[in-house]
Amino acid sequence: MPTVGVFDSGVGGLSVLRALRAELPQVHFVYLADNANAPYGERSAQVVLDRALRLTEQLRAEHRIDALVVACNTATALAIDELRHTHPDLPFIGVEPALKPAAVLTRNGYIGVLATRGTVQSARFAQLLERVSATQVRPLHVRVQPCDGLADAIERMDAAAVHERAAFHLAQLRAGDPHRPPIDTLVLGCTHYPFARDVLQSLCGPDVLLVDTGEPVARRTRTLLNLETHAPGTEPGAFTLLSTGDRTSLEHAASRWLGVAVQVAAA
Ligand code: DGL
């Protein structure tokens, strides 16, 4: 069975790992959290690219991975082209803000996107926006909000800061023309944000649909690796967690969000 590497700046990619383990219980996953260098979203493009290249080399050399899931919107936006160029023999699966599904799901055409500054300012995100808008038969109204501090608050599991950052950024998203209809769909364009889903949902109200990318990425990984679907309810298999920084925070996050007690090793 294949070994699949997964990396993110920190705990956020666990939201993708959760979907991957449910979809592919037969696969051994090696999850690497680069929390010594988080948050990626507020770092320069060059730093994120250097880290992505370094982590990929490490996962290949030390864990002999057969494919790599870049479980981070920021690293995908800033590094996936270079990763594919540097490692042409390794299949990569990236994540991008779920604008395409949101465009299908929205009823009134008003969509909000929350993502990191690095993602929002990237050329790749601009292309995604353009592509999705161009393929719609009706006009789409997309508001984009860079969410400084939100991933970091989630990383630190600081509930008060998560609430404050989420409320601030949603208010920014709504600011402006008071006559504009409210959004009915909100894209969680950073893999950390599903872990603030309850807070975001309560701030937006029950009528707003929150969309993330965990499950589509897991399905794409299965297709790319040409693996069978397992019967629902199959127990997820073993996995390895590695961290470049504070190991206990990743252990707490895994126990809280994956429901497993697992020891994190130093990367
Ligand atoms: N979880 C990452 C993303 O999807 C990065 C968050 C951060 O480190 O800023 O963009």
Task: Please count the residues of the chain.
Answer: 267
HEC-encoded secondary structure of 75-98: HHHHHHHHHHHHCCCCCEECCCCC
Per-residue pLDDT reduced to its tens digit, 221-256: 999 998 877 766 677 777 999 999 999 999 999 999
Per-residue pLDDT reduced to its tens digit, 28-57: 999 999 999 999 999 999 999 999 999 999
Is 35 touching ligand 1 by the criterion CB < 6 Å? no
Q: What per-residue confidence (pLDDT) applies to 238?
A: 78
8 Å CB contact between 113 and 143: yes
Residue 148 above 70 pLDDT?
Answer: yes
Active site residue 147: no
| Residue of higher predicted confidence among 143 and 26 | 143
| Residue of higher predicted confidence among 175 and 168 | 168
Average pLDDT, stretch 143-156? 97
Is 38 touching ligand 1 by the criterion CB < 6 Å? yes
Active site residue 72: yes
Domains of the chain as residue ranges with CATH:
3-95+214-266 (3.40.50.1860), 99-211 (3.40.50.1860)
| Residue of higher predicted confidence among 179 and 147 | 147
Average pLDDT, stretch 13-23? 95
CA distance 240 to 243: 10
Q: What is the pTM of this model?
A: 0.96
Pick the closest to residue 265 from 17, 236, 251, 253 (CA basis). 251
